[in-house]
A and B are shown apart, each in its own frame.
Chain A
Amino acid sequence: MTALTQRRSTALNVLLIGILVAWMLMAAFPFLWTLWGSFKVEGDFFSKADWVNALTGPLTQAETGRTFTGAGYHGAWIKEAFGLAAINTVIVCLFVVTISLTFGTLGGYALSRSTYRYTFWFLIIALIFRAMPPITLVSGYLPVFFQWNMWGKLSTAIIVLVAINQPFTLWMLHSFFKNIPKDLDESAMVDGCNRFQAFRHVIVPVMWPGVITTGLFSFLLAYNDFAVTAMILSKENQTMVPKIASFLGTTQTKGNVMFAVAAVVSVTAPLFVMIMVFQRQIVSGLTAGAVKG
């Protein structure tokens, strides 16, 4: 590609740089804007007079005496108990990731090693399940969950999210295990291990890169879910995302949109850190299915 770089004309260079700058603005600016604005009062963040107020914050200065205020965060975390929702999210994500990965590694390993035709159908059915919008399943859950008194509990949400996660986890880990040479576990079996021992002692030590990548996406699914958690969790067990949605109903009328803005920033921050740390794994995970398939 070096030869190409040398031949590039100025006009083309300007165009490419223009595209990159425009895209970076589109991708990053909304987040920076909201982060900055979350430390202002509502009159500045939603300024009728002049959009520059959101940057300089004259009303914030007038109302609180400083140019930055933590009032939104105080309101969301202390008054509206957003911390409780954060704890719920941590519990849900932790269990969903652990259980999905346990189920998924076992299933994905078997699917990659079996040579029978039914593995193909198994994966196709998983793909069909992956295509179902989760919300279509919810009306199937509700009557049963009400009947058996399972509705509203964190454990119910966890098991439902694990199930919804399975098709994707299986596909990803299946294609990952395909890349681990069969000889590895088969030689262990020649040495007298049974299938599970071979899996336990030979495959488990080398599977972590794939498991970490899959785990990241399981985490994202659980963390980002709105459709299922909003319908299945009771008010006191809400996770962060449905909690933000419920802010919108109540706080907008009270004039406390800034609570929601602060909550939105709080939800985005962990994702920011996660992308920064795991960028390589995320990119490889996103392309795993495509490049091989």
Chain B
Amino acid sequence: MKHKTFFWFVLPSSLAMLLFIFVPIVSVLVQSVYVDHEQVIKEVENCGPFGCTTTTAVDQEATQALQQASPLGRFAGLDTYLDRSHLAIDEVRAAWNSSNGMAEFYAKVVNLPFYKAMSFTLAYTFIVTPLVIIFGFIIAVAVNSATRKIRGPLIFFSLLPMMVTPLVGSLIIFWMVDARGVIGAALQYLAGDPDLSVKASTPLTWVMLMVYGVWHSAPFAFIVYYAGLQTVNSDTLESAMIDGASRWEQIRYVIIPHLLPLTTFIALMQLMDNFRVFEPIVSFSASAHATSLSWAIYNDLGGETRQLSSAAATSVLTILGIAILLTPVLVRTWRDFSRK
């Protein structure tokens, strides 16, 4: 295909991506090194019958003029990155100096907003991803062993947790886990503690969010593995059986190697998607116990004051995190490609 024809064909979609993905990324980078102008304060003298008093007030006009002159705000360099709600260098140093041991240091650091979000995001990503792969595989093997007739409905119900809007799916789970809901009541009965509330406890909230994550994503791994199981070479399997391989050995030496490339694909997609965990935290109203990087950005942007610089700095740090997660995969893809 000629360069020119190629250019016209990809123009609409590249333009969309350039304007609404690439430019915003640049704009986020720029915003993160600027902060809002300080308000100009002027002294006003109020003279009344009982003498004069001076008060300070915001000079609206001067502030406006400053805003007009440089709409981006004041250049702040890396200040936003280093402040208390992001990397919090000073606080981390203080915690390091005042702590006697790692446990205490860790406990202090995870109370800082950024590290709190980071610790949950990472824990969620690296606990949910392997669990999704394991459960997806088990479900795929089980469905594959069922008679053909009932596989259709089995797949239909399996798809539900994944296809349903994440915000809605997590709300459904949240209402059931509520102390007055059916799972909540069951947990209280099992624990023998009538006051048990998942919402009120940090570890239980974490567990709940991760259980939701596995519930939501396991169907994806299941579908991919199930499709992979349909293409297992039956000759290889039969010869393994003739050679006396037990059922477990067949899985271990024939099926798992066959599914390995699929596992890389699932892991890649899951790492990307789990790193952006966000909706369940909103649905579970879990922000007191668990926050994520995406939630931190959402929180900065919403509400009365839109803290754009703060949100931008968190966005940049999130993008860096994604980049670090993806580098191994990209390097491998590039190697494969250059080998061809």
What is the interface of chain A, defined by CB distance below 8 A to chain B? 1, 3-5, 7-8, 12, 16, 19-20, 23-24, 26-28, 30-31, 33-34, 45-48, 51, 54, 102-104, 106-107, 109-111, 113-116, 119-120, 122, 124, 126-144, 147, 159-160, 162-164, 166-167, 169-170, 195-196, 220, 223-224, 226-227, 230-231, 241, 244-245, 248, 257, 260-261, 264, 267-268, 271-272, 274-276, 279, 282-283, 286-287, 289-291, 293
Q: When chains A and B are docked, how far (Å) is the Cα of A147 from the Cα of B24? A: 14
Interface residues of B in 176-213 (CB under 8 A from A): 176, 178, 180-182, 185-186
Enumerate the 4 nearest inter-chain pairs by beta-carbon distance, A residue then B residue, closest first.
A140-B24, A163-B20, A110-B9, A133-B276
What is the interface of chain B, defined by CB distance below 8 A to chain A? 1-3, 5-6, 9-10, 12-14, 16-17, 19-28, 31, 71, 138-139, 141-143, 145-146, 152, 154-161, 163-168, 171-173, 175-176, 178, 180-182, 185-186, 215, 219-220, 223-224, 227-228, 231, 234, 237-238, 241, 247, 262, 265-266, 272, 275-276, 278-279, 282-283, 285, 293-294, 297-298, 300-302, 306, 308, 311-312, 315-316, 318-319, 322, 326, 330, 333-334, 337
The answer to whether B266 and A290 have CB atoms under 8 Å apart is yes
| A19 interface neighbour in B142, B237, B300, B312, Cβ under 8 Å | B142
The answer to whether A111 and B10 have CB atoms under 8 Å apart is yes
Please classify the interface of chain B as helix (H, G, I), strand (E, B), loop, or mixed, using the class held by over half of its residues.
Answer: helix
The answer to whether A135 and B297 have CB atoms under 8 Å apart is yes
The answer to whether B173 and A275 have CB atoms under 8 Å apart is no
The answer to whether B238 and A3 have CB atoms under 8 Å apart is yes
The answer to whether B16 and A103 have CB atoms under 8 Å apart is yes
26 CB contacts below 8 A, A to B, read A12-B247, A20-B142, A20-B143, A20-B146, A27-B160, A30-B172, A30-B176, A51-B186, A103-B16, A114-B6, A116-B1, A116-B3, A129-B21, A135-B278, A137-B20, A137-B25, A138-B301, A139-B312, A139-B315, A140-B23, A195-B5, A227-B298, A244-B167, A264-B168, A279-B159, A290-B224
The answer to whether A279 and B156 have CB atoms under 8 Å apart is yes
The answer to whether B166 and A224 have CB atoms under 8 Å apart is yes
Among A34, A135, A140, A169, find the residue whose CB has the most chain B CB atoms closer than 10 A.
A140
Q: For A261, what are the chain B residues with a Cβ–Cβ distance below 8 Å? A: 175
The answer to whether B266 and A122 have CB atoms under 8 Å apart is no
